């Protein structure tokens, strides 16, 4: 038999059953804050790279539009081969692994 989510709960009846059912569609405030801080740190770290490397990583990992572009798609934008984009990406990732940059992101790695 169905039960209304508006059924009063507790002795004072100032709460309803629906108040105690978590909304799984909404991100928790803690996770939302962590995601926002991570995005800020990624932006800070990427800003230490040359503009071309920044743009390649942003496109390859979908950091601006949520779409991860292929090597070929990025190459088309820069008018270079996908192999050259792969090389630029590899160089940028090597730079990001340097301790001066990577330590800023270590707190976010599980």
Are 101 and 42 within 8 A, CB to CB? no
If phi > 0 it is left, if psi is from -120 to 50 it is alpha, else beta; for residue 10 that is: left
Query: Tokens representing 109?
Result: 């790695």
Q: Whose CA is closest to 105, among 31, 30, 34, 27?
A: 34
Tens digit of each residue's pLDDT, the chain (110 residues): 888 878 888 777 788 888 778 777 888 888 888 888 888 999 999 999 999 999 999 999 999 999 999 999 999 999 999 999 999 999 999 999 988 888 888 877 76
- What structural domains does the chain harbor? 50-110 (1.10.10.10)
């Amino acid at each position: 038999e169905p039960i209304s989510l508006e059924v009063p709960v507790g002795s004072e009846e100032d709460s309803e059953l629906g108040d105690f059912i978590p909304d799984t569609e909404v991100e928790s405030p803690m996770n939302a804050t962590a995601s926002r801080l991570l995005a800020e740190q990624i932006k800070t770290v990427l800003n230490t790279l040359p503009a071309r490397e920044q743009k390649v990583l942003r496109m390859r990992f979908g950091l601006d539009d949520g779409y991860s572009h292929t090597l070929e798609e990025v190459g088309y934008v820069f008018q270079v081969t996908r192999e050259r984009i792969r090389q630029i990406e590899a160089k940028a990732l090597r730079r990001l692994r340097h301790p001066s940059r990577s330590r800023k992101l270590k707190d976010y790695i599980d």
